[in-house]
Structure 1
Amino acid sequence: MLHAYLNIFAIFALMFLGYWLSFKQWFSNQTAEAFSKLVLNLALPFNMFLTITSNFSKEQFLHLFSGMIIPIISMSLTFFLSLLYRKIWPTKSGRGGTFTTMFTCSNTIFIGLPINLAIFGEEAVPFVLLYYIVNTTFFWTIGIYEIARDNPEFQQAKVSFHPLVVLKKVFSPALLGFLIGICWMMGAMPVPDFIRTFGGYLANLTTPLSMFVIGIIVYFSGLKNLKINRDVLGVLFGRYLFSPLIVWVLGQFITVPPMMLAVFIIQSSMPVQNAVTILTRAYHADEEFAASSLGYSVLLYMFYVPLLLKLIL
């Protein structure tokens, strides 16, 4: 347990380094964008490919997909719970859809992957990706629709999404790396040494660059600009109480490997998705609310995750 805590502390030390280097003007918002592209388009795909081809057999992997039912059901229940929450404690006008999306969707890659790697090692990566597939699909379909509805000038009938745009977001380079890794593993083909070495260097960039991105985002959001209110507290309850609790309850009825359930619980309790602040700006929703929810969820997670590990490990 102490080893896991020390690994997590190292992860957050990288985030604080990203924050400090932003303060020193080494990093800018453009740096965060470049690092995000590096992670999502190069480092993460190789990470997924090498993990699958190195750690799993065909039989082991086929057994994994039976567990995907838990994130599907849990995210659906969390979504409807957010709507019920809004009925009981109505959110401020113009932020209801953003509230629902942040209540339901978590940061499964930029924080979720490094934290799970720190706790469980490479064996957790396929479980991380199973949750990521469901989370990303929900976020770029229902989630973005909910955010768009917060724009007072948007009529519901006018909100539409091109199928190719949605497919591009869901079938990201990370997921494609995962799928290629599955095909490679199913075919029992050896990975050439050059690809393993070259890909390994890129894969090792995933954690430090991801946490630098979070540190940069927190810095440029401005700590003094983060405002706590009832709606932000509702988002935090959704992220850190209701979402993981639903996953845990489902795990008592649906039998999955213990590590898979633990990873799903951790993934379900991650901070708010990075992209929410960008989307609220694009759709003229409540960007300040989104930035405050993201900032507080990231900062509080440092104190929350040790308690969560104490309960589930």
Structure 2
Amino acid sequence: MSIVALLTPFARLFLLLALGALLGRLRVITAEGSNQLSTLIINVTMPAVTLIAVARDLSPDMLRMAPWALVLIVLVGLVLWSAAMLAGRAARLQPGTRGVMALTCGCFNTASLGIPVVQTVLGPVAAVYAVMADMGINVNLFTFGVAGLANGRSGRWYRPILKALLSPMFMALFVGGAWFATGWELPGLVADALDLLAGCNAPLSMLLLGYLIYSHARTGLALTWPLLGIISTRLVVSPLLMFALTMPLPLDPLTRATVILQAGMPAAMLSPVLAKEYGSDVPLAVTAAVVTTALAMLSLPGVAWLATRGL
């Protein structure tokens, strides 16, 4: 893949990100509007991507490869989470800070940023693998990710897991899988409507992320060594680890490229929500999500080059 072909999709995404920040500056997107936009993406456009990818685009060959995406994301996330927990203990960080550092190192934004980037760089067919990788991150978030937070063993530990299993994303995965199992084609009208909704996912996600970067950056961001560790882990160590791990495995090029790209994503945007839910270091979670998302716009072209070698 040429440099121009590689950078063009990121230029489009960056323009949408910048537009989201500008719309925030002009108050076209407000805090209330961003909440509504987030709800729309989570409950409508991302499930549409999942449903069309599984029900229509999945093939028997892809089905054999798709579980690899989930397993590899869980494995890399667990390794990075464990390393961050050990580093936090060695540095005698407070439990809340240590848990957030581990959470943001081991759980990354494979959904609102990862899926659109994979769609843009690798094409819509790769969305199947991107969705499976995102399922892996949900496993990470609601198992060891939550367990590492300061109050993760409170009586409410099971609620996020149940909420995730009942989310539209999981429902779309189940419905899409059931439809795929029947062997029937999606009705043309339904497929066209889902395509239109899925096509909205990337631009809406970028506008929202642009607004979030603007709204948090203007309040000031504290640069600490745990944050530096999160940045280097998420944007450098994680994709390199995934690249090394996938080289000897019997993966097709598209699966390998997808998991490497997903491994280079910034910290999960759900991290601040979970940090607040479990009484952990919310400022660090917010700062990590915002800063890694902003810097990912610089690092992802390099990750994409690494991921697409051989395509």
- Please say whether Structure 1 and Structure 2 have the same fold, judged by a TM-score greater than 0.5: yes
Q: Name the residue aligned to 2:200.
A: 205
Supply the distance in 2 between the matched residues of 1:131 and 1:252 (Cα, whole angstroms): 18
Q: CA deviation at 1:298?
A: 1.3
Matched-pair contact (CA < 8 Å) for 2:89–2:98: no
1:296 aligns with 2:298: no
Could you tell me which residue of structure 2 aligns to residue 48 of structure 1?
50
Measured in 2, the distance between the counterparts of 1:190 and 1:124 equals 19
Distance 1:164 1:290 in 2: 20
- Of 133-142 and 171-180, deviating more is 171-180
**Could you tell me how far 1:145 is from its partner in structure 2?**
3.1
CA-to-partner distance for each residue in 1:29-87, whole Å, 9 max, x for gaps? 22121111111111121222222333233354244324533223222212211123224
Listed as ranges, the matches of 1:82-231 within 5 Å are 82-91=84-93, 94-147=96-149, 149=150, 154=151, 159-161=154-156, 163=158, 165-231=160-226
Identity of aligned residues (%): 19
Q: Can you give the 5+ residue segments of structure 1 that lack an aligned partner in the other structure?
A: none
Post-superposition offset of 1:119: 0.7
How has the CA–CA distance of structure 1 residues 224 and 88 changed in structure 2, closer, same or farther, with 3 Å as cutoff?
same
In 2, are the aligned partners of 1:70 and 1:254 still within 8 Å (CA)?
no
Indicate the SS of the match to 2:112: coil
Deviations 1:232-275, CA, capped at 9 Å, x for gaps: 10001210222222222221333211221121111112111112
Instruction: For 1:94 and 1:121, locate their aligned partners in 2 and report how far apart those are by CA, in whole Å.
Output: 39
Counterpart CA distance in 2 for 1:189 and 1:312 is 33
- Quickly say closer, same or farther: Cα 1:268–1:59, change in 2 above 3 A: closer
8 Å Cα contact 1:52-1:182 kept in structure 2:
yes
- Normalised by the length of structure 2, the TM-score is 0.90
Contact kept, 8 Å, 1:136 with 1:170, in 2: the verdict is: no
Give, in whole Å, the separation in 2 of the partners of 1:63 and 1:235. Answer: 30
Q: Which amino acid aligns with 2:46?
A: L
1:44-83, aligned counterparts within 5 Å? 44-83=46-85
Q: Counterparts of 1:114 and 1:47 in 2: how far apart (Å)? A: 9
State the partner residue of 1:287.
282
* 2:18 is the counterpart of 1:13: no
SS of residue paired to 1:110: helix
| From 244, 247, 252, the counterpart of 2:242 | 247
8 Å Cα contact 1:19-1:219 kept in structure 2: yes
SS in 2 for 1:109: helix
Kindly provide the amino acid, as one letter, of the partner of residue 5 in structure 1: L
Hey, what's the Cα distance between the residues in 2 that align with 1:302 and 1:165?
30
SS in 2 for 1:225: coil
State the distance in 2 between where 1:171 and 1:127 align: 21
Separation (CA, whole Å) in 1 of partners of 2:68 and 2:235: 25
Q: How far is 1:135 from its partner? A: 0.7
TM-score for both structures, normalised by structure 1: 0.89
SS in 2 for 1:69: helix
What is the CA distance between 1:301 and its match in structure 2?
A: 1.0
Q: Does the residue aligned with 2:266 lie in a helix, a strand or coil?
A: coil
Whether the 8 Å contact between 1:79 and 1:104 is mirrored in structure 2 is: yes
Give the CA deviation at 1:130.
1.4
Which has the higher mean CA deviation after the structures are superposed, 97-106 or 246-255? 246-255
Equivalent of 1:258 in 232, 248, 253? 253
Bigger mean CA deviation after superposition, 277-286 or 257-266: 277-286
Partner Cα distance (2:296, 2:158) in 1:
35
The CA deviation at 1:312 is 3.2
Is the Cα–Cα contact under 8 Å of residues 103 and 238 in structure 1 kept in the other structure? yes
**Structure 2: which amino acid aligns with 1:37?**
T
Q: CA deviation at 1:162?
A: 5.3
CA distance in 2, matches of 1:85, 1:78: 10
Quick one: which of 265, 268, 274 aligns to 1:270?
265
